[in-house]
Structure 1
Amino acid sequence: MTVVFIVTLAILALAGLLTLVRLVKGPWILDRTMALDVLVVLIVAGFAVNMARTESVLTVPILVCTALLGFVGTLSVVRLTEGRKEHR
C-alpha cells in the first residue's frame, strides 16, 4: 500500500510543477488565477493522501480551510477582473 501512496504523491508533485510553470508563464491574469486554483486543489489532494496514509483525521480542518481560501481567492480575482477589457 505504501507504493500507492508514493506514486500518488509523485503524480501530485509532477502536476504541481506543471501548474507552477503555467502560473509563472501566464500570460493572462485569469490563466494565473486558474493555475493558483489548481495548485490549491493539488495541495488539498496531497493533504488528503497524507491523511489516508497516516489514518488520522486531524488534518480535516486544514483541508476545509485550504479549500475555502482557494475558493474565496478565485472568486475575488474573478470579481476584480470582471469589468476590465484586458485581463493582463
Structure 2
Amino acid sequence: MTAFLAVALTVLLSVTALLALARIYRGPSLLDRVVGADLLLATMLGAVGAEAAVTRHAATLPVLVVLSLLGFVGSVSLVRFSVREETR
C-alpha cells in the first residue's frame, strides 16, 4: 500500500509541476509567470511534505519552513514591484 501511495503521489506531483512549468513558459505577463512559480514552489513543498510523511521523520521541517518563507517573501516582493511598474 505504501508503494502504491508513493507512486500515486509522484505521478500527481509530477503532473502538477509540468503544468506549472507550462504556465511559466506560456504566461504572457509577469504576473502569470509569478503564479506559475508559486505553484511550482507549492508543488515542491507538497513533495517534501509527502516525503516526510511517507518516511515518518521530521528532519525536513526546517526545509519546509524555509521554502514557505521564500515563497511568501518572493510573491509579496514581485507583486509590489509590478504595482510600482503599473503606476508609472
Normalising to structure 2: TM-score of the pair?
Answer: 0.92
Instruction: Give the CA RMSD over aligned residues.
Output: 1.3
1:55 and 2:56 matched: yes
Off by >2 Å, runs of 4+ in structure 1: 83-86
56-65 vs 4-13, greater mean Cα deviation: 4-13
Unpaired runs of 5+ residues, structure 1, are none
How many angstroms apart in 2 are the aligned matches of 1:68 and 1:6? 28
How far the C-alpha of 1:85 sits from its partner, in A, is 3.2
Using the aligned pairs only, state the percent identity. Answer: 31
Q: Which residue of 2 aligns with 1:30?
A: 31
The count of residues paired between Structure 1 and Structure 2 equals 86
Residues 9 and 49 of structure 1 are in contact (CA less than 8 Å); yes or no, is this contact kept in structure 2? no
How many angstroms apart in 1 are the aligned matches of 2:38 and 2:5? 25
Q: 1:38-88: per-residue Cα shift (whole Å, max 9, x none)?
A: 1100000000110011111000000010011011001000000113339xx
How many angstroms apart in 2 are the aligned matches of 1:68 and 1:39? 14
1 or 2 for the larger relative contact order (CA 8 Å, sep ≥6)? 1
Q: Which residue of 2 aligns with 1:39?
A: 40
